[in-house]
Chain A
Amino acid sequence: MSRIQQRFEQCRGAGRAALVPYITAGDPEPGATVDLMHALVDAGADLVELGVPFSDPMADGPVIQRAHERALQHGTGLRDVLEMVRQFRERDADTPVVLMGYLNPVERMGFEAFAEAAAAAGLDGLLTVDLPPEECDEVTGLLDRAGIDPIFLVAPTTSSERIGHLARAARGFVYYVSLKGVTGSQSLDPSALNERLDAIRQYTDLPLGVGFGIRDAESAAAVARVADAVVVGSALVSLAEAHPGDSAGFIRAAADKLGEMRRAMDAARSTSAAGSV
């Protein structure tokens, strides 16, 4: 059983939604990333999503674009990110780590070389925003053999037919993009979400994560009532700009924010469980 599967089973058993923070590797400086990952796990993260910096992050809003730019100023490349994963694994053998990024850095490294290096570093999943299932056969084959789960996005605009296709290619979990737009867009509407997740569940037994538009404890709690995992990115990454030149301050602030979300999510699940009895 993969680390991602194990973790989702643990969460299910404990009756809670998984909390998945996204951070951009190398932001605000490469030395901060591994410490930040550990701090987020201590604050309640069940899985860590690590963004791979790219010069042209087309699917990201301004907050994460700037994080990529900061990371690139330090020259953080894909091999550096895998080295961070390896260092993280020295102290944490259980928390799954998923890379989220764009195809070109992976393609440049070479899919085979990437799969091998990623497995050796202890990576668990790869989400390439601009790699749809139609184009992924070569990559997913190599990832499968290396024991790395390909994670795919489902969008509000995805047709039923495509959901089926995506669900067949996906491993680990399915990431539902809760709104049309880039990362860090306007707030999502939790009421419409449940219906949409039910529709996706007709095609897959994989856990469903929800991201884009979750910005505070309240929205995290609302999503935790209906989804298997809550992904939060821009709300954490924006804190780097509130602590310029102070990585320790950024790490504390991000962990505090994530901790608030954790508590609100767990409270929401226990009240809804009590209510349904």
Chain B
Amino acid sequence: MSEAIDWGAFPDARGHFGVYGGRFVSETLMGALDELQDVYERYMKDPAFLAELDRDLRQFVGRPNPLYHAERLSRELGGAQIYLKREDLNHTGAHKVNNTIGQALLARHLGKKRIIAETGAGQHGVATATVAARLGLECVIYMGEEDTRRQAPNVYRMRLLGAEVVPVTSGTRTLKDALNEAMRDWVTNVDDTFYIIGTVAGPHPYPAMVRDFQAVIGREAREQHVEATGRLPDTLVACVGGGSNAIGLFHPFLADESVEMVGVEAGGEGVDTGRHSAPLGAGRPGVLHGNRTYLMEDDNGQIIGTHSISAGLDYPGVGPEHAWLKDIGRASYVSVTDDQALAGFHRLTRTEGIIPALETSHAIAHVLELAPTMRPDQSIIVNLSGRGDKDLATVADREGITL
């Protein structure tokens, strides 16, 4: 790895992280993306906009959230000290709202009256419907039909918030198809509609913009860790579907060479079974949803169905910045299976009294293996990206319990 990477220079002006990223969309959207990029670059330097964003993050989201020292879990595992960045304590229960707050403010400044979004587990959909309700904007959420069943409580939450939830019945009826459908809506209604993408994927400027809105996670965590321990953490761990919570935590630490970063993909039934959602571990580079990145595809370049116990990780691609960080070796990526994630879910719940989302449980599962290999004077920050209330029915069902 080069020692002299200027991390602030990525992505380049056209949205490239090395060979990844870029802007691969139909011509109709190019003008809207140019407009979005202009507005985003302008407002991210505008003190008044940043003050407005900061106020919303404090008063509406509840930031800063704690960096919690999980002492009992650390002691039981007998290795590194484990710190949990409590994104689950944000309003709406996950990190997603950091981004929707920011993009909704941009939408308002652009004068757009209608918001659309895709959602997998429903967390991004809820976070979008929430900010749309608050700003009085019309809101349409696209969600794979399969996911509307898996995450029924979130569908109801979105509808309570005034959003129209459109079940998507094309393709595999999951997150990737919801994204296709949201893109189709956007291309049709591009004049009055703002598309709030929920992860660090999509055409430029989305991967950079979503990262910048999520980077508040890493900025706070870095400061809180230094304050608590007087030093930087040794390792960061976060789950990776599209990868927004992971980039949010990692990005402010990229220049800190001593800090290792591990992204945890969904291994589903096992990467060797083919039934998983681990493009970084088992995919190859290609182009989907507006950017070049690692994808799960067949020999004909068709995107293949993914599997994960967690709807939020059930996606065949990954943010282009992760693809680049993997290739240059700045971050490493592993996967854990559905069963390991469930074990992580129960372990954290019983040991620390915190019920994590199934997505987050993947990161916890990896920490259960990693922490014992480290010394007690070392530390790990885990992004506790969301809370698990939405997953209770899935877990109960899997364990043969009728609620």
Asked if A and B bind, the verdict is yes
Residues of chain A having any CB pair with chain B under 8 Å: 53-59, 61-62, 65, 69, 72, 75, 77-79, 102-109, 129-132, 134-135, 152-159, 162, 166, 177, 180-182, 185
Spot the interface stretch: B131-139, B287-295, B326-334.
B287-295
Please pick, from A69, A77, A105, A130, the residue contacting B26 in the complex, using a CB distance under 8 A.
Answer: A130
Q: Which residues of B contact A132 (CB under 8 A)?
A: 23-25, 27, 30
* B236, CB-defined interface residue at 8 Å: no
* B65, CB-defined interface residue at 8 Å: no
Bound: A181/B304 CA distance, A: 26
Can you list, as one digit per residue, whether each of B1-35 has a CB less than 8 Å from chain A (1) or not (0)?
00000000000001000000011111111111000
Interface size class of B (residues with CB under 8 A): 35 or more
* B377, CB-defined interface residue at 8 Å: no
* B183, CB-defined interface residue at 8 Å: yes
Whose C-beta in chain B lies nearest to the C-beta of A182? B184
How many inter-chain contacts with C-beta < 8 Å in the A-B complex?
123
Please pick, from A56, A79, A154, the residue contacting B176 in the complex, using a CB distance under 8 A.
Answer: A56
3 cross-chain pairs, A with B, having the tightest CB-CB distances, nearest first: A108-B301, A77-B300, A105-B301
Q: Which residues of B contact A162 (CB under 8 A)?
A: 27, 30-31
Q: How far is the CB of B38 from chain A (nearest CB, A)?
A: 12
Interface contact A155-B300, CB-CB below 8 Å: no
Interface contact B295-A104, CB-CB below 8 Å: yes
21 contacts between A and B (CB under 8 A): A55-B171, A56-B177, A56-B288, A58-B180, A58-B184, A62-B170, A72-B302, A77-B300, A79-B300, A103-B287, A104-B303, A107-B287, A108-B301, A153-B26, A157-B28, A157-B32, A162-B30, A177-B26, A177-B28, A180-B187, A182-B188
Residue of B29, B177, B304 with highest tally of chain A CB at under 10 A: B29
Please pick, from B170, B189, B290, B300, the residue contacting A105 in the complex, using a CB distance under 8 A.
Answer: B300
Interface contact B30-A158, CB-CB below 8 Å: yes
Bound: A157/B34 CA distance, A: 11
Q: How far is the CB of A172 from chain B (nearest CB, A)?
A: 16
Interface contact B24-A55, CB-CB below 8 Å: no
Residues of chain B having any CB pair with chain A under 8 Å: 14, 22-32, 170-171, 176-177, 180, 183-184, 187-191, 286-290, 295, 297, 299-304
Q: Which residues of B contact A108 (CB under 8 A)?
A: 286, 297, 299-301
Bound: A258/B93 CA distance, A: 55
Bound: A155/B32 CA distance, A: 12
Interface contact A135-B22, CB-CB below 8 Å: yes
Q: How far is the CB of B123 from chain A (nearest CB, A)?
A: 23
Bound: A109/B299 CA distance, A: 8
Interface contact B300-A78, CB-CB below 8 Å: yes
Q: Which residues of B contact A75 (CB under 8 A)?
A: 300
Q: Which residues of A contact B180 (CB under 8 A)?
A: 56-58
User: Given A58-B183, A153-B27, A155-B26, does the pair A104, B188 have CB atoms closer than 8 Å?
Assistant: no
Interface contact B300-A59, CB-CB below 8 Å: no
Bound: A166/B31 CA distance, A: 13
Please pick, from B23, B26, B289, B297, the residue contacting A135 in the complex, using a CB distance under 8 A.
Answer: B23
